[in-house]
Chain A
């Protein structure tokens, strides 16, 4: 609701679309902010979730990949999802079936936080 969040979301959207385009392959993705692809990616690099906010349609599977030499987790602040510990190059996926804003963090390094906005 804050101006800052709106700004983050609008900044993140083109990035998300670019990632979706990369991931989707032959799946068609419309160019008007309403991608129909069902995958999105978050990369963990240098103790940062990137992008920090992903905005995706309902039904999207988000996959986190740990590119650090140190293990990380992605744990929903509200207990909606909780990854196992991801060591280097390990992944975790979760499919978002309900609209909403899902805040999460790394339970090992709680300064690391991120957000999935499901529309």
Chain B
């Protein structure tokens, strides 16, 4: 009975999410990096459950495809929080390459570089060429747009994109939209998409079937996490109003260098760890600057995110994995997508 364990997990998840949310829209977590924790956010309360070891295989086979999200590589950063960010990016790539199932592609949710320097972009590009997945989709972070209105970034990583670098594509029935909320920021504000991009988004989604799973990805969170530190996007509500009619929406962000998850109706929000350095939990430090941790603990707070998509349930499983050797430490059922975040160490 190979599916017995999976059934039990599904049952647990159903129990955990017994909050009146439409079951049909609530999708199963298919975490396959089996040693972690299942995280669910139910009414804002995070719940975790340990995964049994063997589930990884079953779920991995069940998934129709998977992709990996990496974020905040900050190539060029060389301060004590992590003096060698190129090395930890390489650890992340090694982790991707060691996956039992090759991801179809990689999404990088921004802050590729520290200072938008050509040499920094070169280093990132070279490192990612060694990844098993050759197709990589980028969106810029604010660190990638520091000079010449982001031209350097756009020329290298934004070919064929619109405006400041936004675009969409389809993959095996899922519609992906890369959004840019780090350009033309206004004094006193947070992240911003801007009128032009919002119009484009509305148009891009128009006419698509409500049963199409939607994945939105952008650098700064598209939900307000901590306004004092600018951890949110001023006009994200308008963007989210365009996806309300869809049955499965997943929002993937970076910027805050830690995992945060939230489910709101059919929309699941998830932020990824950085491959470079951690940042403090909201309000726990004087500022959002790099958080220094002992060197032997660094890789536990850096990581990658695997996302598995299962056609039968129209669900995506998201797994966050640390870069270090403890395997995936937490996985999340965030509604439409299952997520496994793996720390690097």
A103–B187 Cα distance when bound, in Å, is 9
- Please tell me if B288 contacts chain A, counting CB pairs below 8 Å: yes
Chain B CB within 10 Å — which of A68, A69, A77 has the most? A69
- Please tell me if B146 contacts chain A, counting CB pairs below 8 Å: yes
Chain A residues positioned under 8 Å from B77 (CB to CB): 69
In the complex where A71-B146, A85-B147 touch, is A110 in contact with B186 (Cβ < 8 A)? yes
Chain A residues positioned under 8 Å from B228 (CB to CB): 111
A104–B190 Cα distance when bound, in Å, is 15
- Please tell me if B143 contacts chain A, counting CB pairs below 8 Å: yes
| Pairwise interchain contact A110-B230, C-beta atoms closer than 8 A | yes
A107–B186 Cα distance when bound, in Å, is 7
Chain B, interface size category, equals 20 to 34
Chain B residues positioned under 8 Å from A111 (CB to CB): 188-190, 227-230
| Pairwise interchain contact A47-B288, C-beta atoms closer than 8 A | yes
| Pairwise interchain contact B290-A70, C-beta atoms closer than 8 A | yes
A101 → chain B closest CB, angstroms: 14
| Pairwise interchain contact A110-B143, C-beta atoms closer than 8 A | no
Q: Which residues of B216-254 have CB atoms within 8 Å of chain A's CB atoms?
A: 227-230
Main secondary structure on A side of the interface with B: loop
In the complex where A71-B146, A85-B147, A87-B115 touch, is A113 in contact with B81 (Cβ < 8 A)? no
Main secondary structure on B side of the interface with A: loop
Chain B residues positioned under 8 Å from A88 (CB to CB): 79
| Pairwise interchain contact B187-A85, C-beta atoms closer than 8 A | no
A87–B79 Cα distance when bound, in Å, is 11
A98 → chain B closest CB, angstroms: 20
Residue interface bits A55-78, CB-to-B below 8 A is 1, else 0: 000000000000011110000010
| Pairwise interchain contact B230-A109, C-beta atoms closer than 8 A | yes
- Please tell me if B160 contacts chain A, counting CB pairs below 8 Å: no
B186 → chain A closest CB, angstroms: 6
In the complex where A85-B146, A110-B230, A111-B230 touch, is A69 in contact with B188 (Cβ < 8 A)? no
Interface size on A, residues (CB 8 A): 20
- Please tell me if B142 contacts chain A, counting CB pairs below 8 Å: yes
Chain B CB within 10 Å — which of A47, A48, A103, A111 has the most? A111
| Pairwise interchain contact B290-A69, C-beta atoms closer than 8 A | yes
Q: Which of B79, B185, B286, B287 contacts A110 (CB 8 A)?
A: B185
Chain B residues positioned under 8 Å from A104 (CB to CB): 187
Residue interface bits B250-291, CB-to-A below 8 A is 1, else 0: 000000000000000000000000000000000000111110
Residue interface bits B114-130, CB-to-A below 8 A is 1, else 0: 11100000000000000
Chain A residues positioned under 8 Å from B230 (CB to CB): 109-111
- Please tell me if A108 contacts chain B, counting CB pairs below 8 Å: yes
Chain A residues positioned under 8 Å from B190 (CB to CB): 110-111
Chain B residues positioned under 8 Å from A30 (CB to CB): none
Interface residues of B (CB under 8 A from A): 77, 79, 81, 114-116, 142-143, 146-147, 185-190, 227-230, 286-290
27 contacts between A and B (CB under 8 A): A46-B289, A47-B229, A47-B289, A48-B287, A69-B77, A70-B289, A70-B290, A71-B114, A71-B143, A71-B146, A85-B116, A85-B147, A88-B79, A104-B187, A105-B188, A108-B142, A108-B143, A108-B185, A109-B142, A109-B230, A110-B186, A110-B187, A110-B190, A110-B230, A111-B188, A111-B190, A113-B188
Interface residues of A (CB under 8 A from B): 46-48, 68-71, 77, 85, 87-88, 103-105, 107-111, 113
